[in-house]
Each structure stands twice: as C-alpha cells, then as structure tokens.
Amino acid sequence: MQAMSLLKDVFLPINPRFSSIMVQDKKGEKRWKKVNVNLKEHVRIPKFPETKNLESNDKYFQEYLSRISIEELPQSRPLWEVHIVNKATSDSLGSVIFKLHHALGDGYSLMGALLSCLQRADDPSLPLSFPILKPSKNNNNNNNKDSNSNSLSSSKGICTRFSWMVSSAFYTLADFGWSMLKSSIINDAKTPIRSGNVGVEFQPISISTIAFSINQVKDIKSRLGVTINDVVTGIVFYGTRLYMQEMNKKSKTAESTALVLLNTRNIEGYQSINDMLNTKAKGPWGNKISFLHVPIPKLKQSRTSNPLEFIWEAHNIIKRKKQSLAIALTGTLLEMEGKFRGQEAVAKHIYGTLSNSSVVISNLVGPLQQMALANHPVKGLYFTLAGGPESLVISMMSYMGMIRVTFKTEKDFIDENKLKSCMQSAFEMILKAAREIPEKTRH
C-alpha cells in the first residue's frame, strides 16, 4: 500500500518520537523509549454507509471527526494515527487526517513534519515556498539617514529609548501578572462561546471551515495601513462578537478573552527533512510555545456602525503587546516548570489557562503552491486542536492564496453554521467599509 511505504520511508524517520512511547523510569520520571512500529495499528480506513448523497457523506464525515477527536490514543504505542477517508464529500473527493498527540511536538514541529511528506504538485523536484515577512520600509529609510542627522537627534533618541524601556517594563509586569491570574483564579464569564462546563474536553465536537481570499485581506491591509495579522484578528474578533450578539444580546459587551497560542522559536519558515535530522536542529522538536491573553473588543454602538474599528482595535492591541516581554517570560516559565516539576505540571498549567479563556486562536503559515501527497493534489489544508477544555478553537492556515479558517466547537452548544455566517458577514462588512476609503500611499 502506497500510504504504508510513505509512512515507513518518509514519516517515521522525521521525528524519533513517531516511533517511541513514554515510559516511567526507576526515578518515576517519564522518558521516550524507541519501539518497533506496526503501521497497520496506526492507519485506519473507515467504512461509511454506501450512498452518493454528498450531504449524507458530510454528516458521516463530521460524526467521524467528532468521534476520533475525543478518543484517547493508546499509550502502548506511538501517539499518532492516520485516517484515510475514501469517500467524497461536498468539499473533496477524499480526506487524510493526521491525528497527532501534543506530546510529540507543537504546531510548528508537527506541521514541519507533515509538510516534509508533501511535494509541489507542479514540480516535485522543487521545494515548497512560503510567504516571506518583508522588513518595514520605514526601518530601511531610518537606516539610510546620514550620520549628522543622527547626531543632532541623539538626545531625543536616548529619551525615546528610555521611555520605551519604562513602558516595556510596565507592560511586561502588567501582562505577565494578568496572564498568571488568568491561568489560575480569574476566568471569563459564561457566554455563547464559553459554556464553562466541567469535562468539555470529553464532549463531542463539531468541525467546520471557511476561507478568505488573501488578496482581499491584503487590499484591506493596504487601505488601512496595518498588517495582515491585524486584519485577520479584527475579522475574527468582529465575527465572534456578531455571533455572541445573535445568540445573546447582553453578551456582546461581556468580558471575554482570546488566548493566542504562539511559537517561541527564533526560526523563520519550516525546515527540510535533512535539517530536522541534523543533530544541530534538535530545537524544532518538543513544545516551544507560549500564549498571549488578548481581550476581545466589545461590540459597542460605534463599532456596529463602523466595523473598521475592530481592525484599529486589533492593531492597537497587537502594537501595545509588542512592547511587552510577557510572551517570552511565559514561554520561559513553561520550560522551567517542565524541567523542575515535570510535563504533567505544565499540562495542568496550560489546562487551567485554556479553561479560563473564551476562545483559543492559533495560526500557521502554509505553502504558496499546491501540494501533492503521493501524487494526489491537495485541495485544502486545515488543522485544529482537539481534546482541550475550551468550547471554541479558531485555527488559521494560509494555503494557495487563501486563509483557511477552522472552527472546532462544542457540539450542541455552539451553532457552527451561525458562527460561520457571522464570520463571513464580518469579513464582507470590513471589506466593504475598507473599499470606501482610498488606499494609503506608501513612501
């Protein structure tokens, strides 16, 4: 079987944890132990009822996703599975689902491993390419100023740097302190996006998706003079508040927090298989994460009439958070906690943080070109986080000129169709409002 050879020859060699299990040593510490992998135990091919009705297939597929998301992976074998769905749905002719335990790594390392199994559909001999973050033109202009100008403004520069350092220290203390409180004793109110029920992680889920055009997002970005991240965050916040208002008008001004998951590695782009296997590149494996608590802007009357305020609010929040070192401190805290108290203590810390927040947001950068898996073109690429105590997870990934958004929702609590509709409406209203103002001129 083609899938078996691909897993054996490409997938397993990428990460030693793909062929290891967790065992407890004499000191009571858990360690990875290499084992022989029986691939047949890890590959599942479900059989759906025979029907050509795509709506029925969609239903069976959603039920299957919900079921496998809450099934625990056996601890007696490596913590991953591959599910091959040979059944057409309204979105595709078939699907491949990689179910990977978070103990194997974080989003960056796991996505890097999966992308290593894929090739460019147009030319497999060429590597996949990813969007490049361009340096700010303003920064380049500043670097080109002559030395006399810099000398004349040195006093002002010293004052500016001192002011920035004071602000950074204040924001770091405030953000890190707030993060600790949110991870322990302060939780968000119960709203249409947060049930607050005990044991949410064991309840059935629903998974749904939508997609936004990157070119349209870039159009909004250029007209407002902000970043793509500002635009996407503003759309997500606005769409979330619209849904909350639809379900309960009072909740549009509720104190709700988004927990943004972040990668703390100082690495741009994904690494090749050779880089991952290199002894100097062990850094990509494991969990190198941090998180950021971001208040979801309230749906006030002014923001209802002008949805662009959600973009400006997101822009201001992100700009302010960049002055804080709380993200780095939180990442360091998690690493130290894992080193001295063990991974179970880290898991408890993260569980409490997730439980107390209203929505979890995560995003990854995907390739620009269409990919192929074993010579089969990949139409869509999505990811989500399962098994957590939150009612709503919003994950985003760019692929082939689209930002593909996945919603993992608590089943029978969140109306995923209405949530998608509100998110789509938010995007369309923001795009319309942005196009009514002239595009900002770049110097």
Determine the structural domain holding residue 65 and report its residue range: 2-104
Tell whether 94 and 197 lie within a shared domain. Answer: no
pLDDT at 156: 57
pTM score of the predicted model? 0.85
- For the cut 60, the answer to whether the pLDDT of residue 69 exceeds it is yes
Write the CB contacts of 41 (distance below 8 Å, at least 6 apart in sequence): 77
Tell whether 30 and 167 lie within a shared domain. Answer: no
Answer whether residue 154 is part of any domain.
no
Answer whether residue 183 is part of any domain.
yes
Answer whether residue 197 is part of any domain.
yes
DSSP letter string over 100-117? E-GGGB-HHHHHHHHHTT
Question: CATH no. for residue 330?
Answer: 3.30.559.30
- Banded model confidence at residue 302, pLDDT cuts 50, 70, 90: low
Which residue, of 104, 119, 148, is where some domain finishes? 104
- Token pair in block for residue 150: 């810099």
Answer whether residue 76 is part of any domain.
yes
Tell whether 354 and 427 lie within a shared domain. Answer: yes
Tell whether 322 and 399 lie within a shared domain. Answer: yes
- Measured in whole angstroms, the distance separating CA 298 from the mean position of its chain's CA atoms is 23
Pairwise pLDDT comparison (255 vs 168), residue with the higher score: 255
Answer whether residue 150 is part of any domain.
no
Which residue, of 58, 74, 104, is where some domain finishes? 104
Q: Which secondary structure element, helix H or strand E, spans residue 61, and what is its range? A: helix 54-70
Tell whether 167 and 281 lie within a shared domain. Answer: yes
- For the cut 50, the answer to whether the pLDDT of residue 26 exceeds it is yes
Tell whether 179 and 314 lie within a shared domain. Answer: yes
pLDDT at 95: 92
Answer whether residue 49 is part of any domain.
yes
Tell whether 219 and 84 lie within a shared domain. Answer: no
Tell whether 92 and 176 lie within a shared domain. Answer: no
- For the cut 50, the answer to whether the pLDDT of residue 417 exceeds it is yes
Question: CATH no. for residue 53?
Answer: 3.30.559.10
pLDDT digits (tens, 9 = 90+) for 314-338: 899 888 887 788 878 888 888 888 7
- Token pair in block for residue 385: 């986080």
Answer whether residue 117 is part of any domain.
no
Q: Tell me the three state secondary structure of residue 81.
A: strand
pLDDT at 418: 96
- Banded model confidence at residue 137, pLDDT cuts 50, 70, 90: very low
Tell whether 221 and 338 lie within a shared domain. Answer: yes
- For the cut 90, the answer to whether the pLDDT of residue 223 exceeds it is yes
Answer whether residue 360 is part of any domain.
yes
- For the cut 90, the answer to whether the pLDDT of residue 221 exceeds it is yes
**What contacts 24+ positions apart, CB below 8 Å, involve 121-126?**
121/369, 121/370, 121/371, 121/372, 121/377, 121/378, 122/369, 122/370, 124/372
In this prediction, residues 252-259 reach a mean pLDDT of: 90
Tell whether 312 and 240 lie within a shared domain. Answer: yes
Which residue, of 88, 104, 120, is where some domain finishes? 104
Whether the CB-CB separation of 285 and 15 falls below 8 Å is answered with: yes
pLDDT at 108: 76
Tell whether 181 and 51 lie within a shared domain. Answer: no
Tell whether 418 and 304 lie within a shared domain. Answer: yes
Q: Tell me the three state secondary structure of residue 374.
A: coil
Q: What is the number of domains present in the chain?
A: 2
Q: Which secondary structure element, helix H or strand E, spans residue 416, and what is its range? A: helix 416-435
**What percentage of the chain's residues is helix, strand, coil (to nearest 5)?**
45, 20, 35
Whether the CB-CB separation of 239 and 422 falls below 8 Å is answered with: yes
**Distance (Å, rounded) from C-alpha 201 to C-alpha 182?**
19
Burial (CB count within 10 angstroms: exposed 0-12, middle 13-18, buried 19+), residue 34: exposed
